[in-house]
A and B are shown apart, each in its own frame.
Chain A
Amino acid sequence: MRTISCTLVGLLFLCALLLAAPKKIESPKGMVLPVKTVRSAISADQVHIYHQVPAVAFTRLGDVRVELHFSTLNSEAQNAVFQKAKKLAASIGANGVIINMLLPSDMVGPVLTFMGTAIYIPSAAKRRVQS
């Protein structure tokens, strides 16, 4: 009786601790490494992700790197990474990001790594790319 009571109390405290422990928040982290001259910041909605180098003239504004720890690798995780990349690129006035690498790795837990180049395409050229 005494052993069971003590063990149950111990387990109860343990469950309370585990329930109170902070939950894992998976949000992408990243960095934009700008070139010498950048542009003024724009909205992230104006940034386009390019899966290959666009066939128009553009200016390179920097490198964008994003990492996301994931439990399930799905389109939601990929979108979160792209959103972060857009936000970082927008901060230096880039209206495009070319994907150089998008790769899951398991070096420090499951992490989706994104590397891209932040670019600026003038409006007229951008319209040509989109058409």
Chain B
Amino acid sequence: MILDFPLILLSVVVFTGAVALCDFIFCICKGEPLLEKKKRPLVIEYARAFFPVLLAVFLIRSFVAQPYRVPTGSLEPTVIPGDFIFVNQFQYGLRFPVWNKKIMSVSEPKRGQIALFYYPVNHAVTFVKRVIGLPGDHISYINKTLYINGKEQKQKYLGTVTRLDDFGQLNTYQKYQEDLMGVKHDIFVRPDMPAHNFYNVVVPKDDYFMMGDNRDDSDDSRYWGPVQRNDFIGRAEFIWMSWKANSAHWYDHIRWDRIGKKL
């Protein structure tokens, strides 16, 4: 089984729920009031106290929204390591966690959206990337420019930025604004990296081609293929917190200017 956070949370909910339910049955059989305030054995006391809270957390996290901390710079400059993003869990349909079974359809992923999904290679890991190709699209990447169904996705040069990558190396990036079929967003490309051109990759039916905005430092569909529709978790809506772990003073840890940034 995949022992990830949703399964651990559901396990605790099921255990506390079963203990509390069993105790309620005892109460009914003995004619005791269900919610009487009295000293109970530790396991029962804790199960009764925590079950409603854990159930609420489980329901909200599974069907409404979840906070997600971005660990890498693959979506830079849009999202940077240490950003906490608010993920809308129902945008791509309501799904029962752990089994990932669809309960209700809401909408399909759209081009340009930043989405959270299960890493196709290992479902215990969650990835966040931008939707580039929709089912049936033809994607080409020539000299670091995207072509979707033969149409060039225009880029506007914004400047040069030097910053540390995920491995602590100082790199120089060229910052561009890409117009992805009307969705304007910033991207990074590294002039020192080869282009890795490809032509006419056809996105299969029910699959999506995902890429990071940090085009030369992103582990994305170019490496492990497209993402199946069923593997989508939710849509990244905005940054609700940004934490700079390596700052010198405690009051510099929070990047206030990034909080509330819409994605």
A, B: real partners: yes
**Are A24 and B11 in contact, with the CB atoms below 8 A?**
no
- Nearest A residue to B122 via CB reads A69
A69 neighbours in B (Cβ, 8 Å):
121-122
Query: Which of the 9-residue segments B17-25, B181-189, B252-260 touches chain A?
Result: B17-25
**Are B199 and A34 in contact, with the CB atoms below 8 A?**
yes
Could you tell me the distance between the alpha carbons of A68 and B219 in the complex, rounded to whole angstroms?
14
Residue interface bits A27-63, CB-to-B below 8 A is 1, else 0: 0111111111000000000000000000000000011
**Are A36 and B99 in contact, with the CB atoms below 8 A?**
no
**Are B198 and A5 in contact, with the CB atoms below 8 A?**
no
Could you tell me the distance between the alpha carbons of A6 and B40 in the complex, rounded to whole angstroms?
12
**Nearest 6 Cβ contacts at the A-B interface:** A33-B198, A69-B122, A13-B18, A10-B19, A3-B41, A21-B1
B120 neighbours in A (Cβ, 8 Å):
29
Q: Shortest distance in angstroms between A64's beta carbon and chain B's nearest beta carbon?
A: 11
- Nearest A residue to B13 via CB reads A17
Q: Does A103 interact with chain B (Cβ within 8 Å)?
A: no
Q: Size range of the interface on B?
A: 35 or more
Q: Shortest distance in angstroms between A109's beta carbon and chain B's nearest beta carbon?
A: 5
**Are B124 and A3 in contact, with the CB atoms below 8 A?**
no
- Nearest B residue to A37 via CB reads B199
Q: Does A125 interact with chain B (Cβ within 8 Å)?
A: no
Q: Shortest distance in angstroms between A108's beta carbon and chain B's nearest beta carbon?
A: 5
Partner of B119, one of A17, A28, A108: A108
Residue interface bits A1-32, CB-to-B below 8 A is 1, else 0: 01101110111111001100111100011111
B22 neighbours in A (Cβ, 8 Å):
5-6, 9-10
**Are B122 and A111 in contact, with the CB atoms below 8 A?**
yes
Q: How many A-B residue pairs have CB under 8 A?
A: 114
Q: Does B104 interact with chain A (Cβ within 8 Å)?
A: no
Q: Size range of the interface on A?
A: 35 or more
Question: Within B198-222, which residues are at the interface with A (CB < 8 Å)?
Answer: 198-201, 219, 221-222
Binding site for A on B (CB under 8 A): 1-2, 7, 10-11, 14-19, 21-23, 26, 41, 43-44, 47, 98-100, 119-125, 141, 196-201, 219, 221-226
- Nearest B residue to A28 via CB reads B121
**Are B223 and A65 in contact, with the CB atoms below 8 A?**
yes
Could you tell me the distance between the alpha carbons of A13 and B12 in the complex, rounded to whole angstroms?
10
**Are A68 and B18 in contact, with the CB atoms below 8 A?**
no
**Are B1 and A18 in contact, with the CB atoms below 8 A?**
yes
- Nearest A residue to B41 via CB reads A3
Could you tell me the distance between the alpha carbons of A107 and B197 in the complex, rounded to whole angstroms?
25
B124 neighbours in A (Cβ, 8 Å):
24, 109
Could you tell me the distance between the alpha carbons of A85 and B221 in the complex, rounded to whole angstroms?
15
With known contacts A21-B1, A63-B196, A111-B121, A12–B221 Cβ distance under 8 A: no
Q: Shortest distance in angstroms between A26's beta carbon and chain B's nearest beta carbon?
A: 8
